[in-house]
Chains A and B, each alone.
Chain A
C-alpha cells in the first residue's frame, strides 16, 4: 500500500526549485539590526546638523572609542542574550579582571603577563560558574548572575582594601610587562590628526568573529536554537548545557579583555567601579535588535547598538547640551528599540507564507 500525498504537486527531485522570492522590503525588515541602523543614521545626521564640533574625524574616532569600550562586552552579552540568558555580573567582572591582575602582580612582584593570564583563568572560571549554576539549578540566570554581581562587587572592594589598604589599586606602570601588555590592550596610533585606539580595532574584530560564528557555523546555529527553544534543541541532540556555559564564559572573557584595557590605560583602578555598565551592555544588545527572550538578534545589530550609545553619550556633549538628559534619552531609545523589535517579530512570524 502506498500513500501519495495530494496536497501538493510533487516535482522530481532533480528539478531546480522554484522558490518564491519575497520582496526586498520584507526580507530587509525581518533582519534584527534594521531598526537600530535606521535609528543610528537618524541620530548621526541629527548630531551632524546640531553639533558643529561633531563633524570632524577626530570626534568620530572619539565616539568610536567610547563605543568600543562598551561594544566589546556588549557583543558577548548579545550572544548570551540570543542564547536566552542574562549576565548582570558583566559590568563588575571588567574591574574584577583588572584588579586581580594588578594586585597579584603588585603584591607578589610578578610579571604582569603572569597576572594577566591568572586573571583570565579566574574570569573564565566565574563565567563557567555562572553558566554551571544556571544550568544545574534551573534558576533564572537573572538571579544567579545578580548574586555573582553582588559577590564580585563586594569582593572587589573587600580584597582591594585588604591587599592595598585603600579602595583603589596600586599603580602598576613600573612593573615588568607593562609596555608589551599596554601595546596589546591600550595603545593608540595616529592617522593624520586622528587618534585611533586599538580597542576600536579589537571591537571590529570581535564583532566580525561573532557575526561569522552566529550565521556561518554550527555553534551559531546552536546558539540560536538554545535561545529560541532549548527543549527542542536538546531533543535533536544540541548540547544545550555546553553551549550556554560557553556563552557565559565568552562574556567573562570579553569582560576580562576590557578590564585589561582599563587597567593598562589608567594604571590604577577604583575597586567600586563598573557597577551599572551591565545595563549599558544589555541596552546596546536590545537596541541592536536582540530579542530579550532569546533566539533572535545578530552581532552587527549589537555593534550598532553600542555605536548609538557612544554617539548619543558624546553627541550631547559635542552639541553643548546638559548631559543630565543623557540617561533620559537612553531610556527613550531603549523603549523605541523594544517597540521596533516587537513589531519586527510580529511581522516576521505572523506572516503565513506556506
Chain B
C-alpha cells in the first residue's frame, strides 16, 4: 500500500486540483512601529505545493503565523475558500482545515506517541468533564495510521521524544492529514534533518500534494523546494522578491535569488576577485 493511497483515504474528496484554498491579497503585519510584512499576494491551490523561501527575518514565520491563526493580520485581506476571514486562534484555523507543522514545535516530547497523535482532537466517551478517553481505540488508530504511512514505532506508548527528528515530523504530518487537513503548512520541516531523513519528509510532502491537499512548504533550502514545488515565492525584508510558477523559473535562478541575487553580484565586484 502506498502512502499516497493512505493519504487519499483521509483527504477531502471535494478537493479539486488547482482550486484556491487560501488567498492573501496585499496582506501585512505590524508589531507596534515595526512592519514585519507588507503587500504579500499568495495563493495556495489544492494539489499544489507552494514554496515560501527567504532568509532569516524575511517574514516567513510572520506569514505562517497569520495563516495558522497565531497572529491576526493588520492589513490586506485573507481569504479561505473564497471567503474573507480573520483567524484569531489555531483552533479556528484547524476548523477551516488549515494545519501547521512547526519545525521544533511539532510535538510534546515527553508525551507518548499516541497521545501526541490525538492531542487537541482526543476521542472521549462523552462530553461531560471527566469523560474517559477511548485509550485503546486511540492507541490502535495511531498505530495503524503510522504503519500505513510507513512509520514504524516499536512501542506506541514510548515518549515521542525518543523518535528521530524526521520521524517526529512525519508523525506530525500524518496527524494533520488524519484529522482532515486541507491545507498543510510546513515550517522548515527539513532544516534540522540529515539528507536521508529529509528525503522521507519530502516524500510526504509530495504524497500530500498528490492526495489533493494544498501544501505551503517553508524552507531556506532551494534544492529541497525545487524537488517538490509547483510555485515559488521568495520573501525579502517583509516583501515579495520573486513570485514564479515552476515553468518560469530554474533551480539556478532560485539559488541565486536565495543567496542574495543582485546584491551578491555587487558584492563580488566589490571584493574584486
Q: Find out whether A and B make contact in their complex, taking CB atoms under 8 A apart as touching.
A: yes
User: Measuring CB to CB, which residues of chain A are less than 8 angstroms from any residue of chain B?
Assistant: 1-5, 7-8, 10-13, 17, 19-22, 30, 212-213, 216-219, 221, 224-225, 228-229, 231-239, 291, 295-296, 345, 348-354
Known: A1-B210, A216-B132, A351-B162. A21 touches B155 (CB 8 A): yes
| Across-interface contacts of A239 in B (CB, < 8 A) | 91
CA distance A350 to B158 in the complex (A): 11
* B147 contacts A17, C-beta separation under 8 Å: yes
CB-based closest 8 A-B pairs: A5-B150, A236-B120, A237-B120, A228-B108, A20-B154, A237-B91, A218-B122, A232-B105
| Across-interface contacts of B115 in A (CB, < 8 A) | 221, 224
B191 within 8 A of A: no
* B163 contacts A354, C-beta separation under 8 Å: yes
Closest to A30 in B: B159
| Across-interface contacts of B129 in A (CB, < 8 A) | 217, 219
B94 within 8 A of A: yes
| Across-interface contacts of A219 in B (CB, < 8 A) | 129
| Across-interface contacts of B143 in A (CB, < 8 A) | 17, 19
* B153 contacts A236, C-beta separation under 8 Å: no
| Across-interface contacts of A213 in B (CB, < 8 A) | 130
| Across-interface contacts of B106 in A (CB, < 8 A) | 232
CB proximity of A75 to chain B, nearest CB, Å: 16
Contact for B200 among A5, A234, A349, CB less than 8 A: A5
| Across-interface contacts of A10 in B (CB, < 8 A) | 1, 147-148, 150
Q: Which interface residue of B132, B135, B175 has the most chain A CB atoms within 10 A?
A: B132
* A221 contacts B100, C-beta separation under 8 Å: no
* B68 contacts A235, C-beta separation under 8 Å: yes
CB proximity of B178 to chain A, nearest CB, Å: 12
* A225 contacts B111, C-beta separation under 8 Å: yes
Contact for B133 among A17, A216, A350, CB less than 8 A: A216
| Across-interface contacts of B175 in A (CB, < 8 A) | 236
Contact for A353 among B3, B154, B203, B207, CB less than 8 A: B154
B4 within 8 A of A: yes
Closest to B152 in A: A8
CB proximity of B146 to chain A, nearest CB, Å: 10
* A3 contacts B102, C-beta separation under 8 Å: no
Query: What secondary structure prevails in chain A residues at the interface with B?
Result: loop
Known: A4-B2, A216-B132, A296-B110. A235 touches B164 (CB 8 A): no
Known: A236-B90, A236-B94, A236-B119. A3 touches B3 (CB 8 A): yes
B151 within 8 A of A: yes
* B148 contacts A217, C-beta separation under 8 Å: no
Closest to B202 in A: A3
Contact for A8 among B2, B132, B144, B151, CB less than 8 A: B151
CB proximity of B217 to chain A, nearest CB, Å: 15
Known: A8-B152, A354-B153. A217 touches B130 (CB 8 A): yes
Would you mind naming 21 contact pairs between A and B with Cβ atoms under 8 Å apart? A1-B210, A2-B2, A3-B210, A8-B152, A11-B147, A13-B144, A17-B140, A19-B143, A19-B154, A22-B158, A213-B130, A218-B131, A219-B129, A224-B108, A224-B110, A225-B108, A225-B119, A237-B90, A237-B94, A348-B162, A354-B167
- Could you tell me which residues of chain B, from 65 to 84, have a CB within 8 Å of some CB in chain A? 68, 70
CB proximity of B216 to chain A, nearest CB, Å: 14
B44 within 8 A of A: no
Contact for B122 among A2, A11, A13, A221, CB less than 8 A: A221
Closest to B200 in A: A7
CA distance A233 to B111 in the complex (A): 11
Contact for B207 among A3, A224, A349, CB less than 8 A: A3
CA distance A170 to B219 in the complex (A): 68
* A3 contacts B206, C-beta separation under 8 Å: yes
* B150 contacts A232, C-beta separation under 8 Å: no
Closest to A241 in B: B89
Contact for B109 among A8, A228, A231, CB less than 8 A: A228
Closest to A238 in B: B120
B156 within 8 A of A: yes
CA distance A219 to B115 in the complex (A): 12
* A232 contacts B144, C-beta separation under 8 Å: no
* B148 contacts A3, C-beta separation under 8 Å: no
| Across-interface contacts of B110 in A (CB, < 8 A) | 224, 228, 291, 295-296, 345, 348-349
Give 17 A-B pairs besides A231-B105, A349-B161 with Cβ atoms closer than 8 angstroms. A2-B5, A5-B3, A5-B203, A10-B148, A10-B150, A11-B147, A17-B140, A22-B154, A213-B130, A217-B131, A221-B133, A232-B106, A232-B108, A233-B108, A234-B70, A235-B105, A238-B119
B21 within 8 A of A: no
* B2 contacts A22, C-beta separation under 8 Å: no
CB proximity of B104 to chain A, nearest CB, Å: 9
CA distance A296 to B110 in the complex (A): 7
B250 within 8 A of A: no
Closest to A232 in B: B105
Q: Which interface residue of A7, A11, A17, A349 has the most chain B CB atoms within 10 A?
A: A7
| Across-interface contacts of B184 in A (CB, < 8 A) | none
B107 within 8 A of A: yes
Contact for B162 among A2, A4, A224, A354, CB less than 8 A: A354
CA distance A212 to B124 in the complex (A): 13
| Across-interface contacts of A296 in B (CB, < 8 A) | 110
CB proximity of B221 to chain A, nearest CB, Å: 19
